[in-house]
Structure 1
Amino acid sequence: MAAWAFCEEKGIDLVTVVPSFVIGRSLPPDLCSTASDVLGLLKAKFQWHGRMGYVHIDGVAFCHFLVL
């Protein structure tokens, strides 16, 4: 919020890319602890409460390219 306030005060355009849940290929051969936890969550039987939005890493990279 501070960035938005600063940019508004200075007349600067601010664009943000905030993906909700990024999926895609992992760079290292081993999963980090966070990725392992998420994979375990997705494989487990659990109740979805609402919808879960996700985006592929290529889409996130392309969005950053467009923002530039």
Structure 2
Amino acid sequence: MQGYAVSKTLAEKAAWKFAEENSLDLITIIPGVITGSSITPEVPGSVGFALSLLTANLKSIFSSEKLIKAGFSYNYRMEEMYDESVEYLRAVGLLAN
């Protein structure tokens, strides 16, 4: 696991513990993309994901050689998943038309 992800996980666990011990409500946010300088030598996963969207190279992020060799294939593009999600959220009244 990348150092950044480990540090974020440990920090959130500490925040949950503090909130529980002090009877506080806690809300955490998981941002979709983190950009900026990295404190680790690895490219952060969110940066790799963002670049894959810009270069239309989603399989570099969402695929695994082992899965592909086992016969796994991608049946839906990102656009299809997005469109179906929006359609569903509108149908259940969670998103305005």
Normalising TM by the smaller chain, what interval?
A: 0.3 to 0.5
More helix by share: 2
Q: Relative contact order, CA 8 A, sep 6+: which one is greater?
A: 1
Greater strand proportion:
1
Larger Rg belongs to: 2
> How does the TM-score come out when normalised to structure 2?
0.27
